[in-house]
């Protein structure tokens, strides 16, 4: 039987971050292909294609099965277990993405060789930087004309303030692509365009082999030798320490579409990406090889099966050897929770998990007891930190077409808020609920889901509020005075926490000036 530290050492839990269209879906599919999860490849592809139009994308979202099985993909390669967590591609989901990134130990940043760093790459990178996350870079689409690789390296270095160190290097690009040179072994892996996009054994030739000129052409061989020399002179060698601190990124070049350079990337992740790391918590940090099981919920997916109002909480295991049937303590409520039917996300099917280890993600079906940010332990009172809610940027008042269904609507709004993509506020003056989201598209998704999953017709109309702040004050009387003075702006969130709904920036500043003892915060830690 594997020991706990051995099992931890064999795991890599990561996410892919990219700007839309850089090739995240294609790369995911190819990584899974190496992991032997071949049937899933089609499902991921279909999803990528259908996402292109908004209505298709919503239909696909409603097919909970697909989007859920693709939220966490577990596969094996060279004896290691990889957990690949999907980050929603649309920028409206930044909050959801943020929380997903709290559950991984490293990230792969995919760039389009013709475009380099794009807006969304940058935003997601900033999130990773907040957590000092190790990042592996994959420059994709080298089978097409792209920018000069040195140019791309400079761009990464300058715009992201990261040290870059190439692990592979393209030999030509576009129509002239001849291969990639694996700089860790000084071997040129040859590209054969005729071989298409399936897995094949590749031919290699040593960089120093005199036959290289004949194989890739004298000009390409000479240029490669010059470039390798330049890289060795100009780029720092790979430093495990700098990479693990998130200050250096190893760079791989390839074509996800042609399944080329992907094997080197996956081997790079296997060799260098960190095993499950320790996790910040109060009152103490949790190490993965501790005997007792701990974990936190970073995502909740409601109504996977609309006939049973079930939901699945995604738990990132942080320590211990988890066994099916285990009784864990739900720290927020103090109640015990027996996990009889945990799910692992191997390939397409949900499989019942008998055992799981730190770094693994298990799905726990429940009826609403588990929320984002919740901690489970074997008894210790611990709370994992750093999983915030963000103040919504758009607020709307809910309009219910049939007032008799107010109760059902409330239930629907609360259920959907539990997934963490929208928030519900109940104004204290008794007016109808205010729903807040980070991006406009969420309202369309909410309306469609309320109709499809709850058979209710509801709409969202303008609310006189621009933003929301959670308010706290050690002096309860001061807080009450503030609330009394701003009665029409006060509301409670789903957990009963007090929220100030601001009509505009001026009103917010005014309230802050009038009540300096009260803290107005734009995030709330779960
Ligand atoms: P995303 O998830 O990051 O949004 O990107 P996705 O994988 O869906 O890829 C976006 C487009 O880029 C797709 O083309 C895909 O085929 C193409 N692509 C991905 N990797 C490579 C690559 O290595 N080389 C080349 N040349 N193209 C690549 P599309 O025409 O938009 O869609 P499709 O009709 O091919 O599905």
Domain for residue 46, yes or no? yes
CB of 257 sitting under 6 A from ligand 1: yes
In CATH, what number is assigned to the domain containing residue 366? 3.40.50.300
CB of 28 sitting under 6 A from ligand 1: no
DSSP states along 260-307: BSHHHHHHHHHHHSPPSPPB-EESS-B-TT-SS-EEEEEEEEE-SSTT
For residues 195-208, give the mean pLDDT.
Answer: 73
255 and 109 share a domain? yes
Query: Which residues are within 8 A (CB) of 129 and not within 5 positions of it... i.e. 6 or more apart?
Result: 246
375 alpha carbon – ligand 1 mean position (Å): 38
Domain for residue 207, yes or no? no
SS (H, E, C) 48-68: HHHCCCHHHHHHHHHCHHHHH
121 and 243 share a domain? yes
Residues in the chain: 526
289 and 261 share a domain? no
Q: Report the DSSP beta bridge partners of residue 189.
A: 180, 204
SS (H, E, C) 289-302: CCCCCEEEEEEEEE
25 alpha carbon – ligand 1 mean position (Å): 8
466 and 415 share a domain? yes
CA distance 372 to 395: 21
pLDDT at 230: 96
27 alpha carbon – ligand 1 mean position (Å): 9
DSSP states along 347-379: SSS-EE-SEE-TT-EEEEEESS---TT-EEESS
CB of 18 sitting under 6 A from ligand 1: yes
118 alpha carbon – ligand 1 mean position (Å): 16
CA distance 456 to 409: 7
Is residue 122 within 8 Å of 94, Cβ to Cβ?
no
CA distance 253 to 141: 8
**Ligand 1, closest atom to CA 144?**
26
CB of 141 sitting under 6 A from ligand 1: yes
180 alpha carbon – ligand 1 mean position (Å): 20
161 and 82 share a domain? yes
425 and 498 share a domain? yes
SS3 state at 188: strand
Domain for residue 211, yes or no? no
Is the preceding omega at residue 283 within 30 degrees of 0, hence cis? yes
Q: How remote is the C-alpha of 376 from its chain's centroid?
A: 21
For residues 351-374, give the mean pLDDT.
Answer: 86
Domain for residue 51, yes or no? yes
Does residue 296 or residue 90 have the better pLDDT? Answer: 296
Q: How remote is the C-alpha of 515 from its chain's centroid?
A: 38
150 has a pLDDT exceeding 90:
yes
Does residue 517 or residue 44 have the better pLDDT? Answer: 517
For residues 181-209, give the mean pLDDT.
Answer: 82
User: pLDDT digits over 13-41, tens only?
Assistant: 999 999 889 999 889 888 888 876 543 33
CA distance 341 to 373: 21
How many other β-carbons are positioned within 10 Å of the β-carbon of residue 102? 22
Is residue 201 within 8 Å of 249, Cβ to Cβ?
no
- Name the band, by pLDDT with cuts 50, 70 and 90, for residue 387: confident
Domain for residue 44, yes or no? yes
CB of 174 sitting under 6 A from ligand 1: no
391 alpha carbon – ligand 1 mean position (Å): 34
CB of 17 sitting under 6 A from ligand 1: no
Does residue 223 or residue 96 have the better pLDDT? Answer: 223
For residues 4-11, give the mean pLDDT.
Answer: 96
511 has a pLDDT exceeding 60:
yes
CB of 26 sitting under 6 A from ligand 1: yes
CA angle 200, 202, 203 (to 5 degrees): 145
26 alpha carbon – ligand 1 mean position (Å): 6
352 alpha carbon – ligand 1 mean position (Å): 33
400 and 378 share a domain? no
**Ligand 1, closest atom to CA 254?**
23
Domain for residue 257, yes or no? yes
**Ligand 1, closest atom to CA 18?**
3
22 alpha carbon – ligand 1 mean position (Å): 7
Q: Which of 364, 384, 404 is the last residue of a domain?
A: 384
CA distance 69 to 494: 28
- Name the band, by pLDDT with cuts 50, 70 and 90, for residue 352: low
pLDDT at 195: 63
Does residue 55 or residue 276 have the better pLDDT? Answer: 276
363 has a pLDDT exceeding 80:
yes
Dihedral angle of Cα 82, 85, 86, 91, to the nearest 10 degrees: -140
355 and 492 share a domain? no
Q: Which domain holds residue 332?
A: 281-384
CB of 467 sitting under 6 A from ligand 1: no
Q: Identify the residue whose C-alpha is closest to ligand 1 atom 33.
A: 49
424 alpha carbon – ligand 1 mean position (Å): 37
196 alpha carbon – ligand 1 mean position (Å): 15
Domain for residue 189, yes or no? no
CB of 86 sitting under 6 A from ligand 1: no
In CATH, what number is assigned to the domain containing residue 430? 3.30.70.3280
DSSP H helix total and E strand total for the chain = 16, 33
Query: Best of 19, 30, 45, 48 to mutate for ligand 1, by most ligand atoms within 8 A of CB?
Result: 48
235 has a pLDDT exceeding 50:
yes
Domain for residue 514, yes or no? yes
CA distance 358 to 337: 19
5 alpha carbon – ligand 1 mean position (Å): 39
CB of 371 sitting under 6 A from ligand 1: no
H-helix or E-strand containing 234? helix 218-234
440 has a pLDDT exceeding 90:
no
pLDDT at 358: 97
How many other β-carbons are positioned within 10 Å of the β-carbon of residue 57? 18
Q: Identify the residue whose C-alpha is closest to ligand 1 atom 21.
A: 257
For residues 158-185, give the mean pLDDT.
Answer: 96
pLDDT at 9: 97
User: pLDDT digits over 465-495, tens only?
Assistant: 999 999 999 999 999 999 999 999 999 998 8
How high is the mean pLDDT of the chain? Answer: 86
Q: Name the domain count of the chain.
A: 3
CB of 288 sitting under 6 A from ligand 1: no
pLDDT at 267: 95
- Name the band, by pLDDT with cuts 50, 70 and 90, for residue 167: very high
SS3 state at 83: strand
pLDDT above 70: percentage of residues in the chain: 87
For residues 520-524, give the mean pLDDT.
Answer: 84
User: pLDDT digits over 281-326, tens only?
Assistant: 999 999 999 999 999 999 888 766 656 667 889 999 999 999 989 9
256 and 331 share a domain? no
411 alpha carbon – ligand 1 mean position (Å): 40
Q: Which of 227, 247, 272 is the last residue of a domain?
A: 272
pLDDT at 53: 34
SS3 state at 383: strand
pTM over 0.85: no
324 and 268 share a domain? no
Is residue 300 within 8 Å of 310, Cβ to Cβ?
no
pLDDT at 197: 53
**DSSP at 143:** T
Which of 181-218 are b and which e, b meaning 16 or more Cβ less than 10 Å from the residue's Cβ? bbbeeebbbbbeeeeebeeeebeebebeeeebeebbee
Q: Say which range, 283-287, 403-407, 457-461, 490-494, has the weakest mean pLDDT.
A: 403-407
- Name the band, by pLDDT with cuts 50, 70 and 90, for residue 105: very high
140 and 243 share a domain? yes
Tokens of 456: 């209710």
247 and 318 share a domain? no
Q: Which of 352, 384, 416 is the last residue of a domain?
A: 384
**Ligand 1, closest atom to CA 110?**
3
> Hey, which bits of 393-488 come out as E strands?
394-400, 422-427, 434-437, 458-462, 467-472
CB of 20 sitting under 6 A from ligand 1: yes
């Amino acid at each position: 039987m594997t020991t706990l530290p051995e099992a931890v050492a064999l795991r890599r839990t990561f996410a892919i971050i990219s700007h839309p269209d850089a090739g995240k879906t294609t790369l995911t599919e190819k990584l899974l292909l190496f992991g032997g999860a071949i049937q899933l490849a089609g499902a991921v592809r279909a999803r990528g294609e259908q996402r292109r139009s908004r209505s298709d994308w919503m239909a696909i979202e409603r097919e909970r099965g697909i989007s859920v099985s693709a939220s966490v993909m577990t596969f094996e390669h060279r004896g290691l277990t990889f957990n690949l967590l999907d980050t929603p591609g649309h920028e409206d989901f930044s909050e959801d993405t943020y929380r997903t990134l709290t559950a991984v130990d490293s990230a792969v940043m995919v760039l389009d060789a013709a475009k380099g760093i794009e807006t969304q790459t940058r935003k997601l990178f900033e999130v990773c930087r907040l957590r000092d996350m190790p990042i592996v870079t994959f420059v994709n689409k080298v089978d097409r004309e792209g920018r000069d690789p040195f140019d791309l390296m400079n761009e990464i270095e300058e715009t992201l303030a990261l040290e870059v160190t190439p692990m592979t290097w393209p030999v030509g690009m576009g129509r002239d692509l001849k291969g990639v040179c694996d700089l860790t072994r000084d071997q040129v892996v040859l590209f054969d365009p005729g071989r298409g996009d399936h897995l094949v054994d590749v031919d290699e030739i040593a960089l120093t082999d005199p036959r290289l000129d004949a194989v890739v052409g004298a000009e390409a061989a000479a240029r490669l030798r010059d470039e390798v020399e330049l890289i060795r002179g100009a780029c720092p060698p790979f430093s495990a320490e700098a990479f693990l601190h998130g200050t250096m990124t190893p760079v791989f070049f390839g074509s996800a579409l042609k399944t080329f350079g992907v094997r080197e990337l996956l081997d790079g992740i296997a060799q260098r990406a960190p095993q499950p790391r320790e996790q910040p918590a109060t009152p103490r940090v949790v190490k993965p090889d501790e005997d007792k099981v701990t974990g936190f919920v970073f995502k909740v997916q409601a109504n996977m099966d609309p006939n049973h109002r079930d939901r699945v909480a995604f738990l990132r295991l942080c320590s211990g050897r988890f066994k099916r049937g285990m009784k864990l303590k739900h720290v927020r409520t103090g109640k015990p929770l027996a996990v009889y039917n945990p799910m692992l996300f191997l390939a397409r099917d949900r499989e019942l998990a008998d055992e799981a280890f730190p770094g693994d993600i298990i799905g726990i079906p429940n009826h609403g007891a588990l929320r984002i940010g919740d901690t489970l332990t074997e008894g210790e009172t611990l709370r994992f930190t750093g999983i915030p809610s963000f103040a919504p940027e758009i607020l709307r008042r809910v309009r219910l077409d049939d007032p008799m269904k107010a109760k059902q609507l409330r239930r629907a709004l609360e259920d959907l808020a539990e997934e963490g993509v929208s928030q519900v506020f109940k104004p204290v003056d008794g007016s109808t609920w205010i729903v807040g989201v980070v991006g406009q598209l969420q309202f369309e998704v909410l309306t469609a889901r309320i109709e499809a999953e709850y058979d209710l017709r509801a709409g969202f109309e303008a609310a006189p509020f621009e933003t929301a702040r959670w308010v706290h004050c050690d002096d309860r009387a001061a807080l009450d005075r503030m609330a009394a003075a701003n009665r029409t702006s006060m509301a409670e969130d789903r957990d009963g926490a007090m929220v100030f709904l601001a009509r505009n920036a001026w009103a917010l500043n005014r309230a802050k000036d009038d009540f300096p003892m009260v803290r107005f915060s734009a995030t709330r830690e779960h």
